[in-house]
Amino acid sequence: MSSSLAGGYVSADGHVVEPADLWTSRMEARFRDRAPHIETRKSIDFYVVDGLDPVAVGLDGAALESKIAGKVESPVARHADTRPGASDPRQRLKDQDLDHLRAEVIYPGQWSLMFYRIADAAYQRAAVRVYNDWLSEFCVYAPQRLLGAAILPMQGPLGWAAEEAERAATLGLKAVMIPAAVPAKPYIHPDYEPLWERLEEIGLPAVAHSGTAADIGASTVAKARKNGPGMAFMDEKAFQPMNALTELIWSGAPQRHPRLKFIISEGGIGWIACILRLMDHWWEDHHRWMQPKLDAPPSSYFRRQFWATFEDDRAGILTRDLMGVDRLMWGADYPHTEGTFPKSQRQIAQDFVGVPEDEVYQMVIGNAATLFGLEV
């Protein structure tokens, strides 16, 4: 390993698995009887959130040991089987060392990612606050290695989201999460303007992570029942991030708020150059009449204000010059089964063959370190 990489990588995409009693022990009293909890049905554990279809525990952490063994034979498991590092910061640092990581951006587990689809705004806000409080406690154990991303409550007044973003900053969290798709109120809606203004002032990146559509019908469960699990995961891992990138740029928010930062997380990057070129093509011919009016090609806003994360994406690496090497951030996606733990070093060596060392450094360390203010 070269000296520039010897200190370990920075994973721009990692996750937790929330403790089984997190909400039943912490949710405010008026929601305690509806608090998110785990139920066991026919030997299978399910994440249960009021108003949503239950989701089987499995691929977000409990099935990691079977991935390490090289055979994921079932998408379900027991919550108690979750690898300790997914919930315990002390164990997390040990797993970081095992996988040669010096730091990691921490996003919610599958359980909390479901919260974007909660219809009851007050209930969503209460559940989100519990998660953000717990995550800040998790990350304070090693603040230079554990960089938490807060969830914003988006179903109620958007002032609640702005307030939670401010609270997240005071808690020491390093980013805030917005839904990847908001069909009921697209990001072009003027109601978002005060939120964009406040996020620009606070300075935390706004993250659109895969699997966060604010639409009950867009859930993995709903998609799997209709089209099968293959299409369900394609929707969450590919189409939602595409929607987020195009909708945010076309909304005009990056143009109006040049210091506002966005991250498109866990959607891969191999598609981005193609989408940016398609957007630029339409802008070149039609920007004189299209609304909202963008003063510059859409790709220019991406290169100025967007970052994107990837795990195993050779196609994206080969098209890096079309996006800007400084916009791309590798992530291990621990503890998910589609992640690269505990073989991230081997995966990076394989995927980055032929890439100049200084560019490898940017994508696996430098870009994330700069964005999140790490000392490396």
Spatial separation of the C-alpha atoms in residues 322 and 220, rounded to whole Å: 32
Closest residue by Cα to residue 363 from 12, 7, 14: 12
Q: Is the pLDDT of residue 165 over 90?
A: yes
How confident is the model at residue 328, as a pLDDT? Answer: 98
Query: In the chain, what are the domains?
Result: 3-20+87-372 (3.20.20.140)
Q: Read out DSSP for 8-31?
A: -EEEEEEE----TTHHHHHS-GGG
pLDDT digits (tens, 9 = 90+) for 63-110: 777 777 777 766 677 899 899 999 999 999 999 999 999 999 999 999
How confident is the model at residue 217, as a pLDDT? Answer: 56
C-alpha dihedral, 365 to 368 to 369 to 371, nearest 10°: 160
How confident is the model at residue 215, as a pLDDT? Answer: 76
Q: Lowest-confidence range among 2-16, 81-95, 143-157, 248-262?
A: 2-16
Closest residue by Cα to residue 184 from 159, 216, 210, 162: 216
Element (DSSP H or E) covering residue 131: helix 121-140
Confidence band of 375 (pLDDT split at 50, 70, 90):
confident
**Mean pLDDT over residues 343-369, rounded?**
97
Confidence band of 214 (pLDDT split at 50, 70, 90):
confident
How confident is the model at residue 162, as a pLDDT? Answer: 98
Beta strands in 221-278 (DSSP E): 262-265
Phi/psi of residue 89, each to 5°?
A: -65, -30
298-305 vs 272-286: helix axis angle to the nearest 10? Answer: 140
Beta strands in the chain (DSSP E): 9-15, 37-41, 44-48, 55-56, 101-107, 146-151, 175-178, 206-209, 262-265, 306-310, 328-330
Indicate the SS3 state at residue 269: coil
Higher model confidence: residue 42 or residue 145?
145
Q: Is the pLDDT of residue 235 over 80?
A: no
Using only the alpha carbons of the chain, give its radius of gyration. Answer: 20
pTM confidence score: 0.94
Confidence band of 178 (pLDDT split at 50, 70, 90):
very high
Spatial separation of the C-alpha atoms in residues 130 and 62, rounded to whole Å: 22
The CA angle 225-220-312, to the nearest 5 degrees, is 125
How confident is the model at residue 67, as a pLDDT? Answer: 75
How confident is the model at residue 366, as a pLDDT? Answer: 98
How confident is the model at residue 216, as a pLDDT? Answer: 55
